[in-house]
């Protein structure tokens, strides 16, 4: 197991394996997002309270879920870089940050587009919305901190430290609807026991979530390859890799 | 869309624009890194 773990620390190995994964991730994302879109927009029944406005969950929930999942990935990668001093950990964290920030922005924008017809306002300083906004600021902070140091290794360590500290925000986002009075509805899918959502509405949602994860996998692999090239451009293996 | 079209379609449009931007920006990031690496190799060769 440790041999496999340390192979993941090898930039040429990761650069090569990431290239192999990209078409598989993109194909899986196209199939699952395509199915989720058709099923969610055409076949899923209209909600009895929210009408067709509920269909926004098919992009809002996957975006919000990916904003937290990507942050957790970034923090774990940063922690691996900090604890084991594995450079690939920092490269993965650097590659994940802009993707996570874009998912967070998408979650905030789609949430406010949902909020206008449902709550009567695009924005409220509600616990769920505010903690999600803090998540966006954390992403921006992590992305800004890395290039703020002249020594890239120090920038990596500072960004990793901030991302690890920021993990405390993830359970706060998740439980904000339980701990405080919130306009935002409570957990519908990610709860113990039976989900509160009708199965014909749930399947397209799960398919979209899987599709967004696969898409994230593909984009992360592409960005990671760029990040590896940028960090290793003096290495001899790069000469062969970029010429092929 | 039962009167909600002006919210639903921009919502889907924005998210798919974000997905498209992600793919474009990631490919651009990789292409730029590749160009810089090639330039570094060329400069090392000329020295």
Q: Is A99 in Cβ contact with B22 (below 8 Å)? A: yes
Query: Phi then psi for A51, rounded to 5 degrees?
Result: 60, -145
- Hey, is A241 helix, strand or coil? helix
* Interchain contact B37–A (C-beta under 8 A): yes
Predicted-complex ipTM score: 0.92
If phi over 0 gives left and psi between -120 and 50 gives alpha, with beta otherwise, what is residue A85? left
Residues of A in contact with B3 (CB under 8 A): 51-52
Strand, coil or helix: A47 = strand
Q: Can you state the angle between helices A57-83 and A152-165, rounded to 10 degrees?
A: 120
Give, for all 244 residues of chain A, the pLDDT tens digit: 677 777 777 889 999 999 999 999 999 999 999 999 999 999 988 888 888 888 999 999 999 999 999 999 999 999 999 998 888 999 999 999 999 999 999 999 999 999 999 888 999 898 999 999 999 999 999 999 999 999 999 999 999 999 999 999 999 998 888 887 777 777 666 655 666 778 888 999 999 999 999 999 999 999 999 999 999 887 888 888 877 6
For residue B42, the distance in angstroms to the closest alpha carbon of chain A comes to 10
**A213 in Cβ contact with A34 (< 8 Å):** no
Residues ≥6 apart with Cβ < 8 Å to A136: A101, A104, A105, A108
For residue A60, the tally of other CB atoms under 10 A from its CB is: 24
d(CA A224, CA A229): 9
Identify the H or E element spanning A107: helix A87-119
Q: Closest by alpha carbon to A143, among A65, A78, A64, A221?
A: A78
- Assess B42–A contact: CB distance below 8 Å, yes or no: no
């Amino acid at each position: 197991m440790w041999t496999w773990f340390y192979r993941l620390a090898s930039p040429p190995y990761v650069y090569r394996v990431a290239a192999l994964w990209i078409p598989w991730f993109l194909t899986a994302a196209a199939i699952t997002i395509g199915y989720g879109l058709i099923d969610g927009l055409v076949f899923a029944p209209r909600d009895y309270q929210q009408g067709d406005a509920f269909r926004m969950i098919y992009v809002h929930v996957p975006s919000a879920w990916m904003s937290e999942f990507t942050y957790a990935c970034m923090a774990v990668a940063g922690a691996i870089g900090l604890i084991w001093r594995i450079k690939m950990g920092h490269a993965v964290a650097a590659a994940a940050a802009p993707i996570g920030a874009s998912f967070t922005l998408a979650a905030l924008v789609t949430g406010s587009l949902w909020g206008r017809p449902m709550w009567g306002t695009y924005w409220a300083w509600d616990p769920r919305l505010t903690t999600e906004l803090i998540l966006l600021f954390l992403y921006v902070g992590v992305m800004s901190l890395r290039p703020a140091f002249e020594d890239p290794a120090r920038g990596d360590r500072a960004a990793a430290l901030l991302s690890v500290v920021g993990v405390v925000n993830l359970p706060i986002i998740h439980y904000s609807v339980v701990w405080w009075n919130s306009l935002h509805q409570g957990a519908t899918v990610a709860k113990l026991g039976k989900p509160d959502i009708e199965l014909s509405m749930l399947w397209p949602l799960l398919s979209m979530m899987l599709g967004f994860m696969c898409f994230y996998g593909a984009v992360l692999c592409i960005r990671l390859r760029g990040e590896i090239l940028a960090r290793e451009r003096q290495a001899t293996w790069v000469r062969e890799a970029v010429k092929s | 869309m039962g009167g909600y079209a002006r919210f639903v379609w921009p919502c889907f449009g924005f998210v798919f624009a974000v997905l498209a931007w992600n793919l474009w920006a990631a490919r651009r990031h990789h292409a730029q890194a590749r160009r810089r690496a090639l330039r570094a190799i060329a400069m090392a060769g000329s020295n």
